[in-house]
A and B are shown apart, each in its own frame.
Chain A
Amino acid sequence: MMYAHFPVIAVMGLFLGAFLVEIFGTKNKYIRNTIVMIFVLLAAVLTFALIKPVMVNGEIITYWMGSWEPVEGWAIGIGYEVDALGLFFGLFCAATFVLSAIYSFRYMDSDDHLGHYYTLFLMLCGGVLGLVFTGDLFNMFIMVEIITFASAALAAFRNYKFGALEAGFKYLVIGSVGSSMILFGVALIYLQTHTLNIAQIGNEMAGNLTPVTILALGLLIMGFSVKAFIFPFHTPVVDSYATAPAPISMMFSGTVNKIGVLGLIRVLYQMFRVMDKEAMQMTLVVIGMATMFIAVTCALAQHRLKRLLAYHSISQVGYVIMAIGLATPLGVTGGLFHAMNHTVFKGLLFLCAGAVFYAAGTTNMDKLGGLSKKMPLTCACFIVGAFAISGIPPFNGFASKWMIYLAAYNKGMETGNFLYIAATIVAVVTSVMTLASFIKVTQTVFFGQLKATNDYIRDVPLSMRIPMWIGSALCIFLGVGYNFVNKTILNPAMNAAFSAERYFDVMMGDPAAASAGTNYTINLSVWNPILWLVLFAIVFAAVAIAIITTKKTVGKVMLSGSDNQDPDGKYAVFFSGERSQYSHVVGSDMFWGFRKNFSKYFDVFHKFHNGNVNDYATYCVVGGIIITIIVFIFVR
């Protein structure tokens, strides 16, 4: 049972690292980087070491802080309980920590106060990992607090940038509204069940939900929804992701909103076990649909790269929430898988956005153009990420979205409830609109004509490129080999989510119960590998032919707007005879047909996002009230 201590070592290591970096790391760059690297790698290695026991053998690791074992079946101390669900989230969060750390060494080296940066960074990582492994409700609240404050500070880290402080402030206000709701809920639960251990609470409240606990349920759902930045509570996301440095945006969109999702799953599936009720499922699906559609349409109207990516994070989390709301084995698997995929490709996209910012100095799409000639590798990674997020078959976005559609439609067929059919339709249309907005970005930023003033741009240094390559490789591997991923990681995580009783028995001290309970399995046998092998050979041959045949026909690189306007007529772009001048079609000119038809819709959301914090706070509270009312009426 050596690995019982791994989770605690990982979490505490990160906090210790934060402490050490603050002391030693402020002066010398190399000490700081090594400390950060040590502790982040330590956490990652320990988390990955847990795969064998938890995922493969199916055990659930329990660890009592200060070995305060439960007395006569009553949990007193803080208990860590690492089941497959928690570890699943822990895995890709730990991977994100490592990639983000490597990326930020080079990306942030021109900033100052890096000591504080890395302290906050490690605090954020510690908070996320702590929440993932904890089995104690109040400990979960503490970790949420740490994450909120670390994120607020990191969002406003580059305070000289326009809107950074405002973003940090908004994040703080909305985040603390959410946290206070969670605290209020936790207090109510403690009042009722006299314990803070999730498993025990679940066992106590199974079946007999008193009005107070239902209020607590409403508040917890609202609190964690704020953390997951779902529709009514998504407002601070856009500003904070945009102004935060790229590795931090990657952490936000990869891990921070995923812990909100994990919190929701724990609350709904394991603590209150309300997910078998039809009303609860429908509310989650409706919230998911709303988040998806509204976020992606707002994304289409953006012309700043990071704001667009932020809106997409919200819409993808909407997918995850909808999938989890289905409460069917395939649905939850799809949801979890999409959560992982989203962390991977959204991280990749934010890193590419960071690379563009690092090289070109701005992420305002109207000023950029034709960067693919100067930054070919970043462009390639961005295209892989864009295809992954819009769900193009060979990539990982497709695999999870495919599961979600199948699950939603199956649920609709079984229950005969038209809402799930509408959910499938909205999901597909949202996926096409995601593709549309990313086509807009690739055309505006990477392809099209290079501005003469952007001639100085060079590709980013190697240490920033490695995380991007790893990200793209993961995108492709997860997309093609998702059967393998399903068997090893996804199935156990999904079964863990469904088996709340097993979660309780093991917590209360008999590890043998780990293998009890029903285990669902999903067969997804669409791609047979042989065909893919042959197809890959054909594509490879085609690429070779394509490259060979165009050896001799390319002219000099032409910089539009510069002096050599017209290298020689033959290879200049066709301007119906005119000299080729700079006429780059930027993002805001695109999709005229779509925007004209949606103009009234966009006016509504223009007014909705008016940027003042009080309105955002009211949206949160109103959203919370509505959820609580729904929970009161329906979930009894």
Chain B
Amino acid sequence: MIVLTTILQILIFPGFLFASFIGLLLAGIDRKVLARMQHRIGPPIIQPMYDFFKLCGKETIVPAAANRHVYMLAPWASLCSLIVMCLFIPVGGLTFFSGNADLIIIIYLLTIPAVCLIIGGSSSGSPYAAVGISREMVTMIAYELPLIIVFLAIARVVGRGELVFSIKTVAEYQIANGALVSHIALIPAAIAFLLIIPAEVGTQPFDTAEAETEICEGPLVEYSGKPLALFKLNSSLKMFIMSALFTTLFIGVVYTGNVIADVVIFVAICCLVTIICMTLVHAVTARLKIEHLFKFYWTVVAGIALVSLILVWAGL
């Protein structure tokens, strides 16, 4: 029976179908709001779904120089790790899967999609992909430092003893004494996390890894058909997961009794978060060089996160 409910959880509710639907929806809203900010009408909200199904319909070409199995496996592995991450995040107040130190696991589960993209890109044997993965890796190093500092700051405020890093305690803490954002010390951490989300998802100012003008979509240059559809799905899933992570960690989950209301509120907050941290930044800035991106993350964003860590550590 447990296996059945677990399969249901993985495949339907917080897992694959729900998360990908919401992810594609968020991507659609992101593109629509971006268009409206550029004073044009913009594509329909369900445009990413059209893109996904069209790509499923296209022919899959595996280049001769590619290592076929790794090339085909990378998107699936990335998708699986993202599904596991969906289970960690208490969507609408239901926590399905929480050990005692999920924040560290979240950090590492966040690296798997990036690693799969990198391995997929490098296995396609294209020089553009090689340049793309080198940039992707530097982006990962760049945002990893502030990410761990933010998580440490949160853990310091919330966790005690054994259960120091777990999201469940974060959620409970926020129910008990208000959203974490209300802590003065944690506001810089929230800002730092908001700045990390675009780099993790790879939207405009920080998408040097997949710059379609300079290196023809970086690691994805050789992908077409189903694998490419999966990679696009993964990036929108990441968008949902990162904003969901932000809402659970900083804004706190609002419990209003029945589940559907919770889920709708949760998704609305996620929507708001994506608009603020991804669309607004995308509409206003241009793409960074990889060297500036690295310097930006290791000085400015890490600095903000460190400020919040020190404030928290000073007992605020």
Residues of chain A from 570 to 603 with CB closer than 8 A to chain B in the complex: 570-576, 580, 583-585, 589-594, 596-597
Residues of chain B from 130 to 181 with CB closer than 8 A to chain A in the complex: 130-131, 133-135, 137-138, 140-142, 144-145, 148-149, 152, 155-156, 159-162, 164-165
- Please determine whether B3 and A534 come into contact, CB atoms closer than 8 angstroms: yes
* Contact of A429 (CB < 8 Å), options: B84, B102, B148: B148
- Please determine whether B72 and A439 come into contact, CB atoms closer than 8 angstroms: no
Residues of chain B from 298 to 312 with CB closer than 8 A to chain A in the complex: 298, 309
Contact of B70 with A by CB under 8 A: yes
- Please determine whether B97 and A531 come into contact, CB atoms closer than 8 angstroms: yes
* Contact of B62 (CB < 8 Å), options: A560, A571, A580: A571
Contact of A516 with B by CB under 8 A: no
| The stretch of B32-40, B115-123, B250-258, B260-268 that contacts the partner chain | B115-123
CA distance A542 to B79 in the complex (A): 10
CA distance A419 to B84 in the complex (A): 33
Give the shortest distance, in Å, between A395 (CB) and chain B (any CB). 10
- Please determine whether B107 and A428 come into contact, CB atoms closer than 8 angstroms: yes
| The stretch of B21-29, B184-192, B288-296 that contacts the partner chain | B288-296
- Please determine whether A402 and B60 come into contact, CB atoms closer than 8 angstroms: no
Are A450 and B73 CB-contacts (below 8 A) given A534-B6, A534-B10, A573-B124? no
Residues of chain B from 69 to 93 with CB closer than 8 A to chain A in the complex: 69-70, 72-73, 75-77, 79-81, 83-84, 87
Name the CB-closest residue of B to A379.
Answer: B67
| The stretch of A42-50, A159-167, A544-552 that contacts the partner chain | A544-552
- Please determine whether B122 and A442 come into contact, CB atoms closer than 8 angstroms: yes
Residues of A within 8 A of B165 (CB): 406, 409
Name the CB-closest residue of A to B305.
Answer: A425
Contact of A418 with B by CB under 8 A: yes
- Please determine whether B62 and A373 come into contact, CB atoms closer than 8 angstroms: no
CA distance A567 to B101 in the complex (A): 51
- Please determine whether A547 and B130 come into contact, CB atoms closer than 8 angstroms: no
* Contact of A425 (CB < 8 Å), options: B108, B126, B152, B289: B152
Residues of B within 8 A of A440 (CB): 134, 137
In the complex, per-residue mask of A169-201: 1 if CB is within 8 Å of any chain B CB, else 0: 000000000000000000000000000000000
* Contact of A530 (CB < 8 Å), options: B6, B101, B159, B313: B6
- Please determine whether B65 and A393 come into contact, CB atoms closer than 8 angstroms: no
Are A560 and B65 CB-contacts (below 8 A) given A393-B105, A421-B152, A432-B141? yes
Residues of A within 8 A of B61 (CB): 553, 570-571
Give the shortest distance, in Å, between B100 (CB) and chain A (any CB). 7
Residues of B within 8 A of A385 (CB): none
CA distance A448 to B156 in the complex (A): 44
Give the shortest distance, in Å, between B244 (CB) and chain A (any CB). 19
* Contact of B134 (CB < 8 Å), options: A413, A547, A592: A592
Give the shortest distance, in Å, between B292 (CB) and chain A (any CB). 8
Instruction: Give the secondary structure class of B's interface.
Output: helix
- Please determine whether A447 and B125 come into contact, CB atoms closer than 8 angstroms: yes
- Please determine whether A435 and B216 come into contact, CB atoms closer than 8 angstroms: no
Give the shortest distance, in Å, between B141 (CB) and chain A (any CB). 5
Give the shortest distance, in Å, between B51 (CB) and chain A (any CB). 19
Name the CB-closest residue of A to B313.
Answer: A418
Give the shortest distance, in Å, between B175 (CB) and chain A (any CB). 22
Contact of A71 with B by CB under 8 A: no
- Please determine whether B133 and A443 come into contact, CB atoms closer than 8 angstroms: yes
Number of A-B residue pairs with CB-CB distance less than 8 Å in the complex they form? 241
Contact of A65 with B by CB under 8 A: no
- Please determine whether A410 and B164 come into contact, CB atoms closer than 8 angstroms: yes
CA distance A127 to B161 in the complex (A): 42
- Please determine whether A591 and B80 come into contact, CB atoms closer than 8 angstroms: no
Contact of A424 with B by CB under 8 A: yes
CA distance A597 to B80 in the complex (A): 34
CA distance A448 to B11 in the complex (A): 35
- Please determine whether A409 and B125 come into contact, CB atoms closer than 8 angstroms: no
Residues of B within 8 A of A596 (CB): 291
Residues of A within 8 A of B100 (CB): 523-526
Give the shortest distance, in Å, between A361 (CB) and chain B (any CB). 22
Contact of A449 with B by CB under 8 A: yes
CA distance A535 to B72 in the complex (A): 19
Residues of A within 8 A of B240 (CB): none
- Please determine whether A597 and B294 come into contact, CB atoms closer than 8 angstroms: yes
CA distance A590 to B133 in the complex (A): 9
- Please determine whether B291 and A597 come into contact, CB atoms closer than 8 angstroms: yes
Contact of A462 with B by CB under 8 A: no
Contact of B246 with A by CB under 8 A: no
CA distance A555 to B61 in the complex (A): 9
Contact of B111 with A by CB under 8 A: yes
Residues of A within 8 A of B7 (CB): 534
* Contact of B141 (CB < 8 Å), options: A523, A530, A553, A594: A594
- Please determine whether B69 and A547 come into contact, CB atoms closer than 8 angstroms: yes
In the complex, which of the residues A446, A572, A574, A584 has the most CB atoms of chain B within 10 Å of its own CB atom?
A: A574
Contact of A370 with B by CB under 8 A: yes
Are A409 and B63 CB-contacts (below 8 A) given A398-B108, A439-B115, A591-B138? no
Contact of A539 with B by CB under 8 A: yes
CA distance A596 to B7 in the complex (A): 47
Contact of B31 with A by CB under 8 A: no
Give the shortest distance, in Å, between A88 (CB) and chain B (any CB). 24
* Contact of A573 (CB < 8 Å), options: B2, B11, B222: B222
Contact of B44 with A by CB under 8 A: no
- Please determine whether A393 and B109 come into contact, CB atoms closer than 8 angstroms: yes
- Please determine whether B295 and A425 come into contact, CB atoms closer than 8 angstroms: no
- Please determine whether A572 and B63 come into contact, CB atoms closer than 8 angstroms: yes
- Please determine whether A538 and B155 come into contact, CB atoms closer than 8 angstroms: no
Are A439 and B130 CB-contacts (below 8 A) given A393-B108, A554-B68? no
Contact of A556 with B by CB under 8 A: yes
Residues of A within 8 A of B295 (CB): 597
Give the shortest distance, in Å, between B139 (CB) and chain A (any CB). 8
- Please determine whether A447 and B122 come into contact, CB atoms closer than 8 angstroms: yes
* Contact of A538 (CB < 8 Å), options: B80, B111, B130: B80
Contact of A527 with B by CB under 8 A: yes
CA distance A594 to B294 in the complex (A): 7
* 18 pairs of residues in contact across A and B, judged by CB atoms under 8 Å: A387-B115, A393-B81, A393-B108, A409-B152, A429-B148, A442-B119, A447-B70, A530-B2, A534-B3, A538-B10, A542-B79, A546-B73, A546-B76, A550-B72, A572-B65, A573-B125, A585-B134, A590-B137
- A residues adjacent to B (C-beta < 8 A): 370, 372-373, 376, 379, 383, 387, 390-393, 398, 402, 405-406, 409-410, 413, 418, 421, 424-425, 428-429, 432-433, 435-436, 439-440, 442-443, 446-450, 523-528, 530-531, 533-535, 538-539, 542-543, 545-547, 549-550, 553-558, 560, 567, 570-576, 580, 583-585, 589-594, 596-597
**Interface contacts beyond A393-B112, A531-B87: sample of 7 additional A-B pairs, CB < 8 Å, sorted by A:** A392-B112, A409-B165, A413-B156, A413-B164, A439-B115, A447-B67, A583-B127
